[in-house]
Amino acid sequence: MTPSVLGSALTAIVERVQELDARFLVPALALQLATLVLRAIAWRNILTCACRRPIPIFTVVCAYATGVALNGFLPARGGEAAKVGLVRARVPGSSLPAIAGSLGVICLLDGAIAASLVGTLWSTGAIPSLPLPALPDGRQLTIVLAAVVACGALLVAVAAPRFSFRLRPILWSALDGLRILRSPWRLAFTVLPFLLGAWACRVIAIFLALQAFHIHAGLATATLVVVLSGASTAVPVPGGGGSQQLFATYALRGSVPAAGAMSFSFGVQLGVTALNTAVGIAAAMVLFRTLRPVTALRAARARPI
């Protein structure tokens, strides 16, 4: 992309952001904050089951908010490590593998909810069929899978005798983080309502943001934007930058030109990052009992795990 084209694109984005309708933007940001709190409460309830002891909600909310803020700036979702380290430091007797395993439960449930939403929208015709990558030839795929399995078996055969006695306690501790999966009723009543509420708040927030950008799209489109935005965080760059804009362009095709979709995605990402950063800094300042924001974030980033 030439500098002139890039400059024109940035100018269009700035102009579109300046035309935002605050009547929709303010409640959208409030719902984004509610999303963060609800997800933190769901994680806290998973941790309570994993650690077999009551854990203060305020502590987990602060740790979660700090990690989310760092995710906007650290590659490969480095804020997740900060969440684990902060909870470990504030909950005596807890273990790092168990805390990390509890985050895995959140990821698992998020994946199930996202797949259910996409499947529902797809089956009802509310969204177009999603593009699928071209699969390799069957013979080549078989050869590749066989090679991967052979290499894996060789590594296990060589490493197992040496490291099994060290890995076994870690694996058992990690399984503690998944304990709530063995209690379906507890999962259904103490975790899923908060996660589903967080998803609902996020979808409505994106719907309101679309209206703020004067993009006339329904809840189905907002849901697709939320699902694809979540998928973009798998890209190992801070905040999924760049990938979010590509996914938004696909999700909003037919509703707005590509330039409008990119400006919408950029504006939403900027607003969410600013909100998460402000909340995360405040949470880190509370956790580390300091009035210096930079010192608090540095301490959170450097938290050993």
Q: What is the mean pLDDT of residues 52-67?
A: 90
Query: What is the Cα 256 distance to its own chain's centre?
Result: 26
Local confidence band at 290 (pLDDT 50, 70, 90 cut-offs): confident
Alpha-helical (H) ranges within 52-95 are: 57-71, 79-90
Sequence-ordered list of residues with C-beta below 8 angstroms from that of 186, at least 6 positions apart, any chain:
49, 180
Q: Are 219 and 251 in contact (CB under 8 A)?
A: no
Which pLDDT tens digit goes with each residue over 114-143? Answer: 989 888 888 877 666 555 444 455 455 455
Q: Are 127 and 224 in contact (CB under 8 A)?
A: yes
Give the per-residue pLDDT at 291: 73
Sequence-ordered list of residues with C-beta below 8 angstroms from that of 46, at least 6 positions apart, any chain:
102, 105, 106, 177, 180, 191
Question: What are the C-alpha distances in Å from 297 to residues 13, 44, 56, 274, 279?
Answer: 30, 22, 21, 15, 12
Least confident of 77-86, 172-181, 204-213: 172-181
Which pLDDT tens digit goes with each residue over 8-55? Answer: 555 655 666 666 777 888 899 999 999 999 999 999 999 998 888 888
The C-alpha atoms of residue 261 and residue 225 are separated, in whole angstroms, by 10
Token pair in block for residue 183: 């209690």
Q: Are 225 and 208 in contact (CB under 8 A)?
A: no
Sequence-ordered list of residues with C-beta below 8 angstroms from that of 196, at least 6 positions apart, any chain:
113
**What is this structure's pTM?**
0.80
What's the DSSP call for residue 139? H
Question: What are the C-alpha distances in Å from 193 to residues 11, 127, 163, 253?
Answer: 42, 26, 40, 32
Element (H or E) spanning 292, and its range?
A: none
Q: How many residues does the chain have?
A: 305
